[in-house]
Amino acid sequence: MKARTMKRKIVKINEDLCNGCGACVTPCAEGAIQLVGGKAKVVRDELCDGAGFCLGVCPTGALTIEEREAPAFDPQAAHAEQARRGKRLLAEACFRCGTGEEEAVLFPCRHQGKSQWVCVRCLPPLIHG
Ligand code: SF4
């Protein structure tokens, strides 16, 4: 039986811009994005919550959010996928102070043409100068 769909926000990947670096796979905690044939793909729409945490890490701007018909986000399926994959997070650190994600919340950001992670303490000075 085909899942019912609804109009909602979901990640869109521009294959022409995607270079297959894989940087977006790890930030997608739900496991919705995988590399297929050297290109990032949303492999299961119901695993993408449309939050867009993957957007900031893409070095080429291939990731955007669009609104389209898709199955609703399924938190139980996402949780099951996370359990199936196990903890496969790569340790990240703030590009300004080196604080790791175990010590502070990190946000993806674009800075001087690069995709970086910045910690909650370094974000305000980055914004306000
Ligand atoms: S981060 Fe961007 S360029 Fe790299 S695999 Fe993902 S979509 Fe492609």
Element (H, E) at 37: none
Dihedrals φ, ψ of 15, to 5°? -60, -30
Q: What is the rounded (10 degree) CA torsion for 71, 32, 42, 106?
A: 120
**Ligand 1 centroid to residue 114 C-alpha, Å:** 13
In order of 22, 52, 126, 127, the CA distances from 97 in angstroms are 25, 24, 12, 15
Q: Which of 17, 21, 34 to mutate to test the pocket of ligand 1 (most atoms within 8 A of CB)?
A: 21
For 1-90, which CATH class?
Answer: alpha beta
Residue 123 CA to chain centroid, in angstroms? 19
pTM of this structure: 0.70
**Which residues neighbour 61 within 8 Å (Cβ) at sequence distance 6 or greater?**
14, 17
In this structure, what token pair is assigned to residue 58? 């893409």
pLDDT digits (tens, 9 = 90+) for 59-99: 899 999 999 999 999 999 998 988 887 765 566 789 999 99
**Ligand 1 centroid to residue 55 C-alpha, Å:** 9
124 pLDDT tier (thresholds 50, 70, 90) = very high
Nearest CA to ligand 1 atom 4: 21
Nearest CA to ligand 1 atom 8: 18
Listed by start position, the domains of the chain span 1-90, 91-129
